[in-house]
A and B are shown apart, each in its own frame.
Chain A
């Protein structure tokens, strides 16, 4: 992976704006926080009381599918099969439940609310992730 070019930076900014508008719509319309770990985690723990959550999840999948359909590819290289997948997925699952949020809930929405808890969580998980890549490699 080479350094991002101008087009990639532009697409990053555009995608970020879309994510911000998405989070703003959900709080303005429904009064809910667009945190993926919370939405999906609560949807599976309480499937019947989660109509809006399922709709959000279907929308999330449709958004990615729409890009795949238009672009022809997600432009992504997914991890190859490896014990790391199990370990990483379990750590992400347990960590985001214990810590009540992930990159979207704490990062995008929590910082938006200027929540000290969310800013703290975001600084910690970013720093730990950076250290993990520095030590384990990518």
Chain B
């Protein structure tokens, strides 16, 4: 279980080192038609260089190192919730440049607007789970 702490630690450090905790840096990447900043592409590229070959190798194993089974998303079809959800998320992300990982990690700044953003985001997660039950929603994608 301690591995999840190490994983979280590296994730938070990676976000901070790459300046992805800075919404202005993220918005500058999304501003393709303005003064474009390619940083996020290098962050995503750096992560995928590890995960694309790495996941393929790991998922060939019978089981993970410290637990009994892999907990993977089961859905494989492109359905309406996926498309509508991705559109809504894209709108919100483009508005202020914060997505869930950086928003939560940036709480360490104690910036009140980040705290406000996270409070509303957490409430929305909780409300969505309560009122739009989706039995097939994958565990942790």
Q: Decide if A17 touches B14 in the complex (CB within 8 Å).
A: yes
Chain A 8-24: CB-based contact to B (< 8 A → 1; otherwise 0): 11011111111111111
Besides A12-B39, A13-B42, 16 other CB < 8 A contacts? A12-B18, A18-B14, A20-B47, A20-B48, A27-B64, A35-B140, A59-B4, A59-B8, A61-B107, A63-B16, A79-B117, A88-B95, A115-B76, A132-B30, A132-B94, A133-B32
Determine the chain A residues whose CB is within 8 A of the CB of B7 once the complex forms: 22-23, 25-26, 29-30, 34, 56, 59
Binding site secondary structure of chain B: helix
Q: Chain A contacts of B15 at CB under 8 A?
A: 15, 19, 63-64
Interface of chain B residues 101 through 141 with chain A (CB within 8 A)? 101, 103-109, 111-114, 116-129, 132, 134, 137-141
A105's nearest neighbour on chain B, judged by CB, is B141
Report the minimal beta-carbon distance from B43 to chain A, rounded to whole angstroms.
4
- Chain A residues with Cβ under 8 A from B44's Cβ? 16, 107-108
A-B CB contact pairs (8 Å), 17 listed: A4-B37, A15-B13, A16-B44, A22-B14, A26-B7, A27-B70, A29-B67, A31-B63, A40-B122, A42-B139, A45-B126, A59-B8, A92-B124, A108-B47, A120-B82, A130-B32, A133-B32
Q: How far is the CA of A111 from the CA of B48 in the complex (A)?
A: 8
Chain B residues within CB distance 8 Å of chain A: 1-25, 27-28, 30-52, 54-56, 58-59, 61, 63-73, 75-78, 81-101, 103-109, 111-114, 116-129, 132, 134, 137-141
**Pairwise interchain contact B50-A124, C-beta atoms closer than 8 A:** no
In contact, B138 and A85 (Cβ under 8 angstroms): no
Residues of B within 8 A of A59 (CB): 4-12
In whole angstroms, how far apart are the Cα atoms of A16 and B101 in the complex? Answer: 13
- Segment 34-90 of A: residues with Cβ below 8 Å from B: 34-42, 44-45, 51-53, 55-68, 71, 74-81, 84-90
Question: What is the CA–CA distance of A34 and B73 in the complex, to the nearest angstrom?
Answer: 12
User: Which of the residues B23, B32, B95 comes within 8 Å of A78, measured between beta carbons?
Assistant: B23
A65 touches B120 (CB 8 A): no
| Cβ-defined contact, A16 with B14, below 8 A | yes
Q: Which residues of A contact B88 (CB under 8 A)?
A: 91, 94-95, 98-99
Q: A6 CB to closest chain B CB, in angstroms?
A: 11
Known A27-B64, A124-B87; contact A97-B125, beta-carbon cutoff 8 A: yes
CB of A63 within 8 A of CB of B58, answer: no
Indicate if the CB atoms of B16 and A97 lie closer than 8 Å: no
Q: Is the CB of B46 within 8 A of A124?
A: no
